[in-house]
Amino acid sequence: MHYLRKPGWAIPEREATPEAVFMRRRTFLAGSLGAIAGGLLGLRGPVQAAEPEDPTRDLYPAPRNPAFTLDRPLTDENVAASYNNFYEFGPMKTVAWLAQRLKIRPWQVRVEGLVRKPKTFDIDELIRAMPLEERLYRFRCVEAWAMAVPWTGFPFAALVKKVEPLSDARYVKFTTFLDRTVALGQLRFWYPWPYVEGLTMAEAMNELTLLVTGVYGHPLPKQHGAPLRLIVPWKYGFKSIKSIVAIEFTRERPKTFWETLVPHEYGFWANVNPAFAHPRWSQAEERMLGTDEVRPTLIFNGYGEWVAGLYPDLNDRRYFM
C-alpha cells in the first residue's frame, strides 16, 4: 500500500503494504512477469468488446441526501479514479486500466444464507428496485490517505427488506468475483481469493451502510468496484469491498481476506481511530488525495454520532484494527 507523498512519520513505501509482509520479491517478479505477459498479449486496455452503455445510466444523478455533509472539499474525480486499491488486478495504485478487463454485464448478486427469501438478483433489476440516493462521505484508507466522495447507492437495510433475514443471522459476509482469466492479480496464489469482507448485523443495518452503484453522479467505474460495492465510512477502506457477487447472512463471524493474510494488522472491526496506531505507522493524521492536505484523523472517521454506540468499549484496541 502506498502514499502519494510520504509524510514524516511514514515508513518507506515498500514496507507500508500487507503485500510486503509476504514475499516482496516474489510479488515483484510476478508483477513484472504479469506486466510483460500483458504487454505481449496486448492486454493494455479492455479485452472484451466495448461495454454497452450502462443500462442504469438514466438513474443518475440520484437525489442527494442532505443528512450527510462534509467538513472538507470533494476529492477531484480524476484523482479518485486513478489511485485505487483493487488487488484482484494487482497491488499497485495504478490498476484502473487493468480493471477495465472486468465484464460487468451480465452480473448477478446472490443473497443467501440465513434468510427467509434467498434470491439471485440480476444487477439491473436490483438497482432499479432500490431507492438510489447520493451521499457525500469521507473515506479513510488504513494506509493513512483519505478522500471525500459523492457515492450513489442504497442503504443495505433496503436490501434486507427484500430477503428477510432469520433471527439467528448475526453477521453478513460479502464476496467479490473470482475469475483468474480476467483479474490477473488473482493469479497470485498466496492470497486467499476471493476477497471477502464482513459486518455484524447491527453494523450492516446501520443507516450509514451503503451498497454503492455510482459515484460523482454516474454509474461506478470498474476501478471503484462496479457494478456493486460496499461503503462503510466509519471503517478503514479495506472493509468497503468491491464488485460483490454474493451477500450471505451467517451465524458465524466470516473470516475476511485481510484478516486471513495479516490478522495482527488488519482485523475484522477496523474502525477508524487516531488513538490506535497501525503496528507499522501512526493513524493520528491522514493525507487528502489530490491536495496532499494533512488533517487530523477523526474517531470513527467523524461518524461517531451514528456508530459509537455499536462499540461498548472505546479503549478496546480490538475494535480499531
Q: What is the rounded distance in angstroms from the CA atom of residue 133 to the CA atom of residue 60?
A: 9
Q: What is the rounded distance in angstroms from the CA atom of residue 32 to the CA atom of residue 117?
A: 46
* 88 belongs to the binding site for ligand MTE (CB under 6 A): yes
C-beta neighbour count of 174 within 10 angstroms: 27
**Cis geometry, peptide bond prior to residue 106 (ω within 30 degrees of 0):** yes
Binds ligand MTE by CB under 6 A, chosen from 17, 85, 213, 283:
85
Binds ligand MTE by CB under 6 A, chosen from 27, 84, 100, 213:
84
Minimum distance between the CB of residue 313 and ligand MTE, rounded to whole angstroms? Answer: 26
Near ligand MTE in 196-225, by CB under 6 A: 224-225
| No. of helices (H) and no. of strands (E), the chain | 9, 12
Cβ neighbours of residue 217 under 8 Å, at least 6 residues apart? 60, 61, 134, 150, 152
Minimum distance between the CB of residue 254 and ligand MTE, rounded to whole angstroms? Answer: 14
Binds ligand MTE by CB under 6 A, chosen from 101, 222, 235, 242:
242
* Residue where the block lists cell 443507516: 207
* Number of residues lying near ligand MTE (CB under 6 A): 16
Q: Of 225 and 267, which has the nearer Cβ to ligand MTE?
A: 225
Phi, psi of 28 (to 5 degrees): -60, -45
Of 54-62, 125-133, 241-249, 292-300, the window that binds ligand MTE (rule: CB under 6 A) is 241-249
* 238 belongs to the binding site for ligand MTE (CB under 6 A): yes
Q: Of 17 and 206, which has the nearer Cβ to ligand MTE?
A: 17
Side-chain-side CA neighbours of residue 152 (13 Å)? 25
Q: Note the residues at the interface with ligand MTE (CB under 6 A).
A: 84-88, 141, 176, 195, 224-225, 237-238, 240-243
